[in-house]
């Protein structure tokens, strides 16, 4: 299933998987006969939580209200069978940790505890004990946290009131992160061609991708693309070239034959992605003397950029880990474009960064340009390449570093893209202000062990990435020199 993306023309964007959220509310059953109005009030609050969770574009599995440990054990089994990405435990009043333990241990998903009282404050002059109990969700929070510590489970909570937007922004962050974490366990990543010679930092252990991110890496041959490109009809190629004219401004350097070839390769690339059910693709092939495989590799930039705009990151230089970073930022709504360092502007105190080749068209500051290149620097072949500046404003960088012991480490930084002079050489280029001396930032960024490519996305997303990293069990290093 696809949904129409309203940014890059008639491109259809892949539909992201909706998070599945289990919801359980609870309180101490001894209160109900003592305070007859309490349980109905608490149930109304639970219904409101369910309503707001559904508004986060999540599928909510509402298991109702539990009053004792027996109820909790029953609900835990329901949640386990449902296969939730995250369990939200709404605690509107006191409950015992024995009621939480079966849910935490058996539900098979991370738990987020919500302490959301009905309003900002109690009416102290008029409240009786029953009315106060509807506000005392904070009371068991330390008890629950202690339980999680002793169970060896990660504890996370959000406290506030039912209609507090600050609290719901935090809740949304956890829901999105949980959905993304679960979705990555089902993703399929294509890896086509071979490593760019000499790039030791790019070399990636495929088993560790499955181990630490989840999903499957499908190893592809350039011939898998070749046979599909050969099947593309002239009409299909012409239609794809027309789409390129709709999406891009074409520079006078674009040769008609190069555009037609790139369009043909783009259609074949779409078929490759569909046939292998890919969520991302990384590729590189060197080729020799202009033979067909070299021409295929050189013709990928248009199709890879169109795929990336649809939500299927496709990158060159065999950069599997960067395609993963781009996928994460894309699913967070940040886009995510293939990026490396280009230069320092020590007059304006900005870092210039970007890359030749594929780019995320949806985050361009203006209509992207297609430029013809007689040579791709450091690569064989020629053809069309994408040129633009990422939309000005807050941005986030995300890299996936591999440490000496084989672990993955997320490396992130927040900055702001600003206007100024840009290269006009068929590259994406952005000027990023990190609020410090550009040299200091580059030194600090490099010292993390991040490799020389990463994803650049819009908005400040480090808080979202922290939630994702916590759920995935990954270290996150934020660079703020």
Name the residue with higher pLDDT: 80 or 385. 80
My answer on whether 54 and 179 are in the same domain is yes
Confirm whether 12 is domain-assigned: no
Give residues with Cβ within 8 angstroms of 368, minimum separation 6. Answer: 247, 248, 249, 305, 359, 361, 386, 387, 388
Averaged pLDDT for residues 248-275: 95
My answer on whether 369 and 427 are in the same domain is yes
pLDDT at 455 over 80: yes
Q: What is the pLDDT of residues 311-368, one digit of tens each?
A: 999 999 999 999 999 999 999 999 999 999 999 999 999 999 988 777 898 898 889 9
Confirm whether 231 is domain-assigned: yes
- Mean pLDDT (the chain, rounded): 93
The model carries a pTM of 0.92
CA distance 467 to 474: 10
Nearest to 317 by CA among 450, 189, 197, 446: 197
Q: How far is CA 418 from CA 205, 339, 363, 415, 478, in A?
A: 37, 16, 14, 10, 21
Confirm whether 13 is domain-assigned: no
Question: Last residue of a domain, which of 136, 168, 184?
Answer: 184
My answer on whether 347 and 360 are in the same domain is yes
Q: Look at residue 383 in the predicted model and tell me its pLDDT.
A: 79
Q: Look at residue 15 in the predicted model and tell me its pLDDT.
A: 85
pLDDT at 377 over 70: no
Full domain range(s) for residue 120: 18-184
Name the helix (H) or strand (E) containing 477.
strand 475-478
pLDDT at 4 over 50: no
Say what percent of the chain tops pLDDT 70.
Answer: 96
Q: Look at residue 93 in the predicted model and tell me its pLDDT.
A: 98
- Residue 2: pLDDT band (50, 70, 90) is very low
In what side-by-side order are the strands of the sheet with 314-315?
216-220, 188-193, 280-284, 314-315
Q: Look at residue 378 in the predicted model and tell me its pLDDT.
A: 60
Averaged pLDDT for residues 100-107: 97
Averaged pLDDT for residues 226-231: 98
CA distance 387 to 250: 10
Question: DSSP labels for 276-327?
Answer: TT-SEEEEE---STT-HHHHHHHTHHHHHHHHHHTT--EESTT-HHHHHHHH
Q: How many CB atoms lie within 10 A of CB 457?
A: 27
Q: How many CB atoms lie within 10 A of CB 256?
A: 10
Domain count for the chain, please give it: 2
């Amino acid at each position: 299933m696809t949904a129409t993306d309203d940014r890059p023309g008639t491109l259809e964007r892949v539909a992201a998987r909706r998070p599945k959220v289990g919801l359980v509310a609870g309180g101490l059953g001894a209160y109900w006969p003592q305070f007859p109005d309490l349980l109905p009030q608490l149930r109304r609050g639970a219904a409101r939580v369910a309503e707001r969770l559904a508004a986060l574009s999540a599928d909510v599995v509402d298991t109702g209200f539990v009053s004792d440990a027996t109820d909790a054990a029953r609900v835990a089994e329901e949640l386990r069978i449902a296969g939730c990405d995250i369990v939200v435990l709404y605690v509107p009043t006191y409950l015992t940790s024995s009621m939480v333990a079966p849910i935490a241990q058996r539900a098979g998903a991370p738990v987020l505890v919500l302490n959301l009282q009905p309003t900002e404050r109690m009416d102290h002059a008029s409240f009786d004990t029953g009315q106060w109990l509807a506000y005392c969700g904070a009371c068991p929070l330390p008890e629950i946290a202690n339980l999680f510590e002793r169970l060896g489970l990660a504890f996370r909570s959000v406290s506030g009131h039912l209609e507090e937007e600050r609290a719901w922004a935090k809740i949304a962050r956890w829901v999105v992160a949980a959905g993304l974490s679960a979705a990555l366990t089902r993703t399929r990543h294509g890896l086509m061609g071979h490593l760019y010679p000499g790039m030791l930092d790019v070399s990636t252990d495929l088993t560790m991708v499955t181990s630490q991110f989840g999903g499957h890496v499908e190893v592809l041959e350039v011939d898998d693309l070749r046979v599909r490109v050969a099947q593309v009809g002239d009409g299909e190629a012409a239609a794809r070239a027309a789409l390129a004219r709709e999406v891009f401004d074409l520079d006078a350097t674009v040769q008609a034959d190069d555009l037609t070839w790139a369009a043909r390769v783009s259609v074949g690339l779409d078929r490759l992605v569909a046939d292998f059910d890919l969520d991302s693709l990384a590729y590189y092939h060197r080729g020799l003397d202009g033979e067909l495989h070299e021409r295929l590799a050189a013709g990928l930039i248009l199709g890879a950029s169109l795929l990336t705009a649809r939500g299927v990151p496709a990158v060159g230089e065999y950069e599997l880990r960067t395609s993963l970073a781009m996928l994460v930022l894309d699913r967070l709504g940040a886009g995510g474009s293939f990026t490396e360092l280009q230069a320092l502007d020590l007059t304006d105190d900005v870092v210039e960064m970007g890359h030749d080749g594929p780019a995320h068209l949806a985050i361009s500051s203006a209509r992207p340009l297609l430029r013809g290149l007689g040579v791709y620097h450091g690569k064989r072949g020629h053809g069309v390449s994408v040129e633009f500046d990422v939309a000005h404003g807050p941005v986030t960088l995300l890299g996936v570093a591999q440490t000496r012991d084989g672990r993955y480490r997320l490396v992130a930084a927040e900055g702001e893209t600003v206007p100024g002079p840009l290269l006009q050489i068929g590259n994406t280029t952005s000027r990023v202000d990190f609020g410090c001396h550009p040299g200091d930032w580059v030194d600090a960024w490099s010292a993390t062990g991040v490799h020389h490519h990463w994803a650049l996305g819009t908005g400040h997303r480090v808080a979202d990435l922290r939630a994702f990293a916590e759920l995935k069990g990954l270290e996150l290093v934020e660079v703020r020199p």
